[in-house]
Amino acid sequence: MIYFVGAGPGAADLITVRGKALLERCDQLIYAGSLVNPALLGFAKQGCEVLNSASMTLEEVTSRFVYGEERGWLTVRLHTGDPSLYGAIREQIDFLAPRSLPFEVVPGVSSFCGAAAALNAEYTLPGVSQTLIISRAGGRTDVPPGQNLAALAAHGASMAVFLSAALTDEVRRELLDAGLPPETPAALVYKATWPDQKIVRGTVGGLTDMRKELGEDKTALILVGGFLAGGPDSYQRSKLYDPSFSHGFRNNG
């Protein structure tokens, strides 16, 4: 059996209970070495074969799946954050499914959740944004037409931009081209939830300088939107917890 497991954003104790139990049981562990916290490898049992996929091709990974299945092993394929975001699991699943090799996906805490926690932020503030856009700048992987950052930014929604810290200047330009005011709040979060987490807050107009201040261009998220503004006057309070608002679970008067 092959389990695609979300490792969580970094801190080793942010993997799910289910993910950790599988790590403890597996005979073979193939982990995304560039981003997964090595501390997680310590959960694997003695004798578990541990492979870093950073230096492997898709074909090498899938041949290890077959190798494990031939031996009746439990394989864990460990992806950073949640596997459904930029995890490249679909191409692995499309290898396994037609061959009837059994697999299951175990979700994880994505880095956009880890970054929000690090900032004490809520992406969906009433009166500010009820939408979170998860995207990336076009790099070596193309972004389909209509989904460039400028087009997305036109919505004025909260944004979490992955895989783009090295392209921060380009992100800044696209957001400003979209008409976002330069004073729109922004934050760079490097290695959210890791011991060496770093946060730089600022504005869209200041993104280039913020990137210099951060001094890192990998493993960082660019967050953008009014949800990052401080102060209780920058949003409306929720209806859910408003005393004058009745709902299915609470009646007034």
Q: Which residues bind ligand SAH (CB under 6 A)?
A: 9-10, 35, 79-82, 85-87, 110-111, 114-115, 162-163, 189, 191-194, 219-221
Nearer to ligand SAH, 69 or 83 (CB): 83
Give the C-alpha separation, 199 to 138, whole Å: 24
Output the smallest distance, CB 222 to ligand SAH, in A: 8
Output the smallest distance, CB 248 to ligand SAH, in A: 32
Output the smallest distance, CB 168 to ligand SAH, in A: 11
* Nearest residue to ligand SAH, scored by beta-carbon proximity: 81
Please state the φ and ψ torsions of residue 225, each to the nearest 5 degrees: 145, 165
Output the smallest distance, CB 130 to ligand SAH, in A: 22
Nearer to ligand SAH, 75 or 80 (CB): 80
Nearer to ligand SAH, 41 or 66 (CB): 41
The number of residues in the chain equals 253
SS3 of residue 250 by DSSP: strand
Q: Is the Cβ–Cβ distance between 136 and 30 less than 8 Å?
A: no
Within a 10 A sphere around the Cβ of 86, how many other Cβ atoms? 17
Give the C-alpha separation, 204 to 234, whole Å: 17
Tell which residue, 202, 208, 147, 132, has the closest CA to residue 178: 147
Nearer to ligand SAH, 71 or 218 (CB): 218
